[in-house]
Every structure is written in C-alpha cells, then in structure tokens.
Amino acid sequence: MNAPYSKPLDPKWYRAAKNYPVVSLLIVLSAMGGMLVSFNTSIALGYFSFSDFSGSQYWRIVTPIFLHFGLLHFVFNSLWLSMLGSRIEQHNGSLHLMMLVLVSGAMSNTAQFWWSGEVFFGGMSGVVYALIGYLWIAGMIFPQPENQLPKGIVIFMIGWLVLCMTPVVTFFIGVGIANAAHLAGLVFGMMLGGVFGLVGKINQHRV
C-alpha cells in the first residue's frame, strides 16, 4: 500500500524570502556589498561610496548602507535588520519598510559625510538605529504587539551607541565607527515613529 503523497515543505530560506521580500533583498545586497569591498575595493569606492547631490550619481547617497567591512559587520547588521525589519514589513507592508530604509539610509549617510568629511564608510547600522527609534517611539505613542520592543534591546543599543563614541570600541576592532550615521538614524527613526504613531492613534479613535 502506497503512502499518501505529502507536499514537501518549503525550505526556511524560501519562506523567509516569500514572507519578507524586502528584508531578504536588503540582506542579499549587503552580502554582495561586503564581497565587493573585500575583493574589489576600487569599484566599491568609485561607484558605491557616498556622493552628495553635487554629482549625477544619486544612488551613492544610499548605496553605502550595503558596503560592509568584514563578516562580523555584515552578520551583526543583518541579524538586527532581520529582527526589526521583519516586524515592520509584516505589519506595515513591504513598501513602507523600503521607503523607511531608503530615506533613513540617505539621512544617516549624509549626516556621516557632513560630520566626518569622509566618503568611504558603510554599513546598515544607521538604518538599524532608525528602525529601533521608529519602533521604540511608535510603540510608546500607539502601543501594538508588532511595534513593542523589549526595554532591554533599546537600553543595549543606546548603550552600544554611547560606547562606540568612546575610543574603546575603535581600539579593539581597529576601524573607525560611523557614529554620526548611528545617531542621525536613531533621531530620524524616532521622528518617523512619532509621526506614524500619532497617525495610528488618530485613526484608531476615528473608528
């Protein structure tokens, strides 16, 4: 007697890509950016490092978020992006998350350039801090299960932000930290979280 046919389960990576396409795309692009930095720094610097509106390569206002310097840098940012971004994408939609990432990326990159004057920096950390600020303030104004962050996460990440502003982290990892991008991302994310939190609260009272 033949056993009944059962459809094989989709692999986890496929389900993640299907349920969170923007988060998955951002992680793939970050992996590609990290490999580009490792294997061809001249192309990474020449085509994807920061450039403001004075030129015609406008994509370079955003593309530094995909440049990662080492495996640990990529993994750290990808884990936070996966945890935070999936919440927003699931409950607010893919377009909402994509716009949040692009705008906060441009803001944090620009802040880092204005502060340091350097163009060769990168990483998704400014966006990660924007997502933390967004969920933190939106959850305070308009508490919903999807935008509630454990206080421990907020305390840890703000503590890490402050610690990175001291010479301690730079001394141990041997590279500079884009502190202006982190701070600008957090502040900008808090502002957006305040706006969307208020909108959600107002809409709730109208129902």
Catalytic residues: 125, 182
Alpha-carbon distance of 125 to 76, in angstroms, equals 9
CA-based R_g, the chain, Å: 19
Assign 3-class secondary structure to the chain.
CCCCCCCCCCCHHHHHHHHCHHHHHHHHHHHHHHHHHHHCHHHHHHHHCCCCCCCCCHHHHCHHHHCCCCHHHHHHHHHHHHHHHHHHHHHHCHHHHHHHHHHHHHHHHHHHHHHHCCCCCCCCHHHHHHHHHHHHHHHHHCCCHHHCCCHHHHHHHHHHHHHHCCHHHHHHHCCCCCHHHHHHHHHHHHHHHHHHHHHHHHHHHHC
Q: Which tokens sit at 102?
A: 């692009």
Q: At a CB cut-off of 8 Å and minimum separation 6, what does 16 contact?
A: 23, 24
Q: How far is CA 28 from the centre of its chain?
A: 13
